[in-house]
Structures are given as structure tokens and as C-alpha cells.
């Protein structure tokens, strides 16, 4: 009896020959098993792939401990902050980053297109935010160095394919994998003590591919099954639906304020704001500009973005708001 395999099978099957690690091969074979129609003609093929998965898992267990550590990565932070973009295979992480940054990112409709971490800069109004594209996370595998990369980032975008029937299971797997690494995903509005920063990550769940049929049903299923402590947003990297709102939410993950400075008698530079933590004061800004300014600071004048404050004289304990303009007087 002929197998009658669909065209999608042969596209994914090509990637199996290019896979380099057992983890990659397992994910691709599982994808193939989900595509193969079940009938008499495919029984031997299904059995063969299941046997291959068993052998690959045995190979993973036999590998020396040092080999499991994998390659270490450290990406220097740039811009207003660093956000790690994580998710399962085929969630559309790379496509989403391409849509947000305008930079060409390798994108394909098969697993493990992204094999290493890569930084991209996303423009947001008058600043740039660094997005880190990362390899996929599965129940069987998570790069060891990825844990440390997530710990050092200011925020996390957790991207899920909202058109996939496995979306809820993949979300649960990701949350549990990170919990095992002592990483807890929290709301973007939570204040994090400095000693807890590596283990508490402000997170936004991105339900990608909302242009596909059935995505709304999957979203409702996730809300019914999970009592998530962090926010979520539905978008489409393909149609750009929701991307402008997503940019704003990514900025809010960083919990920072943009502050413009001006010299007395001159206009402020509105193209290069100083980036400070939310809740920073005039004194914090003075220290940020130059270490000597903090000691010599006498007072400051502040202009608000809304125009409700115009040249108000304030002391060094004054708490700054986003896009305030400040004139320091020494």
C-alpha cells in the first residue's frame, strides 16, 4: 500500500539531513510523525522513526557531562535594555524579530532554524531595544547557556504559535523548564529586588500567528488552563497585527524612563535621551551624566512631556517621569 505522504512531509524531511545534534533530530522526527497519515502503508515508516527517537535519546544519555554543557554565549547589552525572545520550535520567533526590527533574520517553516543566540535592535520612538533571538526550547532539550542568557536579560518575550493545537502543552513545558532552572516568569509591573534579578524575569506572552484559523480558540484554551502571573498579547508577524502595541509592551518590560538634558539657554537634545531605571531621581541623573555632578549639584529645573510642568525648580530627590527634560544647575 502506498504511503501517500503530503508535500509538507518532504519539506520537513529535508531538514532532517541537515540536523547536527540528537536534540534537533528528535524535534524534526516528532514533527514528521505528526505529519505522516496513519494507515497500513505508513506503519513501517512510523515504527522506523520511533526507533530512531529511542536511539537518539540513548545517545544523549551516553554523552559525557562536559559535552552537554554546549557552547557558551555572552552577548553584550546595547540600547535601552536587553530582552530574550524564547519559545518552542516553529513558534515564529525569528519572523517576529524580523517584523519588529526590519532586519533580515533566517526564517523557515521547520524546527531549529535558529541554532545560536543573535542580537537585533528594535527601534522604539527615540531609542533602540536589543532583542535576542534564541534556539528553541523543548521538553527534551534546552541549551545550557540559554539559562544564563535569560538570567542576565531585563525581560523575556515568550512566543507561542497560537494556531497550534500543541500550544498549551508547549507553554506548560517552557514554564516548567524555566522553573527547574530556578527562573520564575512574572508581570512587567512587578518590582524586582537586585538580589532576585537573575531569577525573576518580567515576561510577556506573545501569541503569534493570530492570522491563522483557530488561533482565537487556542488563546481561550490557554486562558482557561493557566492562571498566568504575566501579561499576554495576540499578534501576527505576517500581517503586522498588534506589532505597534507589542513595541510599547516591550518597552514597559524594561521598567525604565527616558530623560532629556538641556544646557541653560539652549534647546534639549530630543534624539539621545538618558536611560534610567523607573523611580530614578535628579541625583541619579546627575551621577549618570558625570560622577562630579552629584557633589556639585545645587538644584534642577524640569519640563514634563505633557507641558503640565514648565521649568519647575526641584531638589535632588525629585523623582523623574518618562521623557522629562532636565536642566542641571551646579
Residue 90 pLDDT > 50: yes
Q: In the prediction, which pLDDT does 23 show?
A: 65
Q: Of 56-60, 157-161, 277-281, 306-310, give the lowest mean pLDDT range.
A: 56-60
Q: What is the mean pLDDT of the chain?
A: 85
Residue 249 pLDDT > 60: yes
What DSSP character marks residue 82?
Answer: E
Residue 65 pLDDT > 50: no
Name all domains of the chain by residue range, CATH numbers in brackets.
7-67 (no CATH), 73-254 (3.40.50.300), 256-329 (3.10.20.30)
Q: In the prediction, which pLDDT does 22 show?
A: 72
**Overall average pLDDT of the 120-143 stretch:** 90
Q: Kindly list the distances between the CA atom of residue 114 and the CA atoms of 39, 132, 149, 227, 251, in Å, as whole numbers in the listed order.
A: 34, 11, 15, 30, 24
pLDDT over 90 percentage in the chain = 45
Question: pTM for the complete prediction?
Answer: 0.74
DSSP labels, 223-264: HHH---SSEEEE--TTT-TTHHHHHHHHHHHH-EEEEEE--T
Q: Of 139-148, 201-210, 299-308, give the lowest mean pLDDT range.
A: 139-148
What DSSP character marks residue 62?
Answer: H
pLDDT tens-digit map of 169-179: 999 999 999 99
b/e per residue 41-62 (b: at least 16 CB within 10 A): ebeeeeeebeebbeebeeebee
In a 13 Å sphere around the CA of 147, the CA atoms on its Cβ side amount to 17
Amino acid at each position: 500500500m502506498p504511503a501517500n505522504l503530503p508535500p509538507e512531509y518532504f519539506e520537513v524531511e529535508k531538514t532532517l539531513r541537515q540536523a547536527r545534534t540528537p536534540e534537533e533530530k528528535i524535534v524534526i522526527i516528532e514533527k514528521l510523525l505528526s505529519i505522516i497519515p496513519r494507515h497500513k502503508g505508513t506503519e513501517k515508516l512510523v515504527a522506523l522513526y520511533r526507533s530512531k527517537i529511542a536511539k537518539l535519546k540513548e545517545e544523549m544519555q551516553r554523552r559525557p557531562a562536559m559535552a552537554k554543557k554546549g557552547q557558551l554565549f555572552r552577548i553584550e547589552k546595547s540600547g535601552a535594555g536587553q530582552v530574550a525572545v524564547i519559545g518552542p520550535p516553529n513558534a515564529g520567533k525569528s519572523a517576529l524579530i524580523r517584523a519588529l526590527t526590519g532586519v533580515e533574520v533566517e526564517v523557515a517553516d521547520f524546527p531549529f532554524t535558529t541554532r545560536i543566540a543573535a542580537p537585533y535592535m528594535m527601534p522604539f520612538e527615540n531609542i533602540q531595544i536589543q532583542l535576542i533571538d534564541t534556539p528553541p526550547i523543548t521538553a527534551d532539550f534546552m541549551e545550557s547557556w540559554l539559562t544564563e542568557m535569560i538570567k542576565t536579560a531585563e525581560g523575556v518575550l515568550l512566543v507561542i504559535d497560537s494556531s497550534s493545537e500543541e500550544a498549551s502543552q508547549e507553554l506548560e513545558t517552557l514554564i516548567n523548564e524555566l522553573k527547574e532552572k530556578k527562573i520564575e516568569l512574572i508581570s512587567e509591573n512587578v518590582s524586582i529586588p537586585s538580589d532576585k534579578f537573575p531569577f525573576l524575569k518580567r515576561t510577556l506572552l506573545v501569541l503569534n500567528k493570530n492570522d491563522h484559523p483557530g488561533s482565537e480558540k487556542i488563546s481561550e484554551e490557554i486562558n482557561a488552563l493557566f492562571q498566568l502571573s504575566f501579561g499576554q498579547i495576540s499578534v501576527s508577524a505576517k500581517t503586522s497585527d498588534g506589532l505597534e502595541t507589542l513595541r510599547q509592551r516591550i518597552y514597559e518590560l524594561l521598567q525604565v524612563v527616558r530623560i532629556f538634558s538641556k544646557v541653560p539657554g539652549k534647546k534639549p537634545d530630543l534624539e539621545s535621551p538618558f536611560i534610567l531605571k523607573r523611580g530614578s531621581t535628579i541625583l541619579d541623573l546627575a551621577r549618570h551624566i558625570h560622577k562630579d555632578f552629584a557633589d556639585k549639584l545645587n538644584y534642577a529645573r524640569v519640563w514634563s512631556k505633557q507641558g503640565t510642568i514648565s521649568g519647575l525648580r526641584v531638589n535632588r530627590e525629585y523623582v523623574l517621569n518618562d521623557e522629562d527634560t532636565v536642566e542641571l544647575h551646579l
